[in-house]
Amino acid sequence: MNHVMLLNGSPHAHGCTYTALNIVAEQLQAEGITTEIIHVGHLPIHGCVGCYQCQKLGRCAIDNDIVNEIGRKFAGADGIVIGTPVYFGAPAGAFVALLNRLFYSLPADVKRMKVGAAVTSARRAGTITALDQLNKYFLHGEMPIASSRYWNEVHGQTPEQVLQDEEGCQTMRVLGRNMAFLIKAVANLRQAGQWPEQEPRRIATNFIR
């Protein structure tokens, strides 16, 4: 059975971001996909220190927090949803620190062709810039991005207000259905042996060369 991990990057375990993620999770479950919402936004997460040891270890060298545990769960999932509140037009800082280390330290094959989706929550503004930042993690990892019929955002200052955002809630439901479709399509193609060719070596150049 296909499985999706949802990361709640809000400091509040059952706040607005959780409310949005839960709507997505309920729709995924309705489509036969198991889910797990993991609250990470309240944790003190150290930022990446640029040691590059992850390229040898296959995991982050900083091993005193939840990042590597999330990485192991990611390896067993078929998709991931990352959700964040918006602070000053950007994702929550500790959540960015987690995502930077998670997505950089994981081997390419762990991420490749797994479906990703991002969800943002704000009282009023800043959701689009935060959403753009989150989607870049998937673009870097060769991950198909699930979309909805509008940008993946909800609005409200409380969970009750988020549920009053009818368009936002519909956006979350459509996102869940579309993500389920993509995950099943990827699984079927992989089972049929129709998998995109991967170049054996990543070419990394600097702008001066």
Residue pair 35/29 in contact by the 8 Å Cβ criterion: yes
CATH number for the domain that contains residue 152: 3.40.50.360
Q: What is the C-alpha to C-alpha distance for residues 70 and 45, in angstroms, rounded to an integer?
A: 12
pLDDT at 160 over 70: yes
Q: What is the C-alpha to C-alpha distance for residues 185 and 172, in angstroms, rounded to an integer?
A: 20
Token pair listed for 14: 């059952």
Q: Using alpha carbons, list the distances in angstroms from residue 182 to 32, 76, 144.
A: 13, 17, 8
Residue 99 lies in a domain: yes
Residue 89 lies in domain: 3-191
Residue 206 lies in a domain: no
Residue 199 lies in a domain: no
Token pair listed for 157: 């200052």
Residue 207 lies in a domain: no
pLDDT range class, residue 208, cuts 50, 70, 90: confident
Residue 55 lies in a domain: yes
Q: What percent of the chain is modeled with pLDDT above 90? A: 93
pTM comes to: 0.95
Q: Kindly report, residue by residue over 189-199, the tens digit of the pLDDT.
A: 999 999 999 88
**Angle between helical axes of 16-30 and 166-191 (0-180°, round to 10):** 50
Position 62, amino acid? I
What pLDDT does residue 199 have? 87
Among 19, 21, 28, 20, CA closest to 7: 21
Domain count, the chain: 1
What pLDDT does residue 209 have? 63
Helix, strand, coil shares of the chain, percent, nearest 5, are 45, 15, 40
Average pLDDT in the 172-187 region? Answer: 98
Q: What is the C-alpha to C-alpha distance for residues 183 and 206, in angstroms, rounded to an integer?
A: 35
What pLDDT does residue 80 have? 98
Q: Kindly report, residue by residue over 59-96, the tens digit of the pLDDT.
A: 999 999 999 999 999 999 999 999 999 999 999 999 99
Residue 62 lies in a domain: yes
Count CA atoms closer than 13 A to 156's CA, side-chain side: 19
Helix (H) or strand (E) holding 109: helix 108-111
Residue pair 121/153 in contact by the 8 Å Cβ criterion: yes
What pLDDT does residue 142 have? 96
Residue 204 lies in a domain: no
